[in-house]
Amino acid sequence: MSTVLITGCAGFIGSHATDHFLQNGYQVIGVDSFTYAANIKNLEEALLHNSFTLERVDICNTEKILNICLERKVEWIINFAAETHVDNSILSDAEFIRSNIIGVKSLLDVCRKLGTKLFHISTDEVYGPAEHHSFTEEDKLSPKNPYSATKAAAEHIIESYHNTYGVEYIIVRPSNNFGPRQHSEKFLPTIIRSLRSGDQIPIYGDGKNIRDWLYVGDNVKTIHAILKNGSLNEIYNITFKNEMTNLQLVRKVVSALDKDFDQSVKFVDDRLGHDFKYSISNDKIAQFGIASKLNFEQNLLYTIDCL
């Protein structure tokens, strides 16, 4: 039975990955420092599982992570731990640099010493805004906000550790995730919370910015497929190509909750450096025969019920 260490295990995507890997027969060591974005309730299912161990550790604590990996013979570190909210990174990027760059360096130092492999979760935002095509994995990184810049920097450091020290890795770049357990600061939970409380939904600019929405369950299944069948030292985009404007997403949620659109929204000043469109290709993961079992609307309705 393979043993994996999942960082950020009490966060949104990390907790779903923890459940998925446990359900598929892995021994899972969950690591989380329990910042504001983590929630112990996200691990209710995992904590009942005999194959799960929880460690309250900061990924910057290299010695502690190294000892855990050594004692438990960890084959892969799957790194979900990150500061992720763009608005927060614009206000202050210090924690983003610490977690998303220094934290990744810490994990790489463990991998370098023990021969452990790193599976790193990046983001489609490292490419910057798309104009006339969907980005492939070979395209240049051109991040435009502090959050995405730290994620791009982490990727460069990972590749440098492979080139210099032989550390083996896989990097994935998923599009915008949504689903149960997502933190309240994110866009979709904000929409749902505002509608249920009778508040107006704040929409940046004219609401025409385009994002690509990926259900969290589909994301973690794809991550597992890539870990099992992907090639080492490669990068993979993860998307099911559900691109829509922010206004289109809002209209879907407003309709699902039977609210009046015009009374439910308010347009606010645009975010600083707001990327207009993210779009990535999924040609590379097509080799794995991955397809969403439920369509976007079904997953969205389920998420609305859960949040």
Q: Write out the catalytic residue numbers.
A: 124-125, 147
End-to-end CA distance of the chain: 34
Looking at residue 5, the DSSP 8-state letter turns out to be E
Residue among 215, 142, 137, 150 nearest 176 (CA): 215
Strands (E) across 51-168 are located at 52-55, 76-79, 117-121
Backbone phi, then psi, for 243, in 5-degree steps? -90, 135
179 conformational bin, left if phi > 0, alpha if psi -120 to 50, beta if neither: left
Residue among 17, 11, 188 nearest 84 (CA): 11
Half-sphere exposure of 93 (CA within 13 A, CB side): 13
Distance, CA of 299 to CA of 304 (rounded, Å): 9
- Long-range pairs for 202-206 at CB < 8 Å and ≥24 separation? 202/266, 202/268, 203/246, 203/247, 203/250, 203/265, 203/266, 203/267, 203/268, 204/246, 204/267, 204/268, 204/269, 204/270, 204/271, 204/274, 205/267, 205/269, 205/270, 205/271, 205/274, 206/247, 206/267
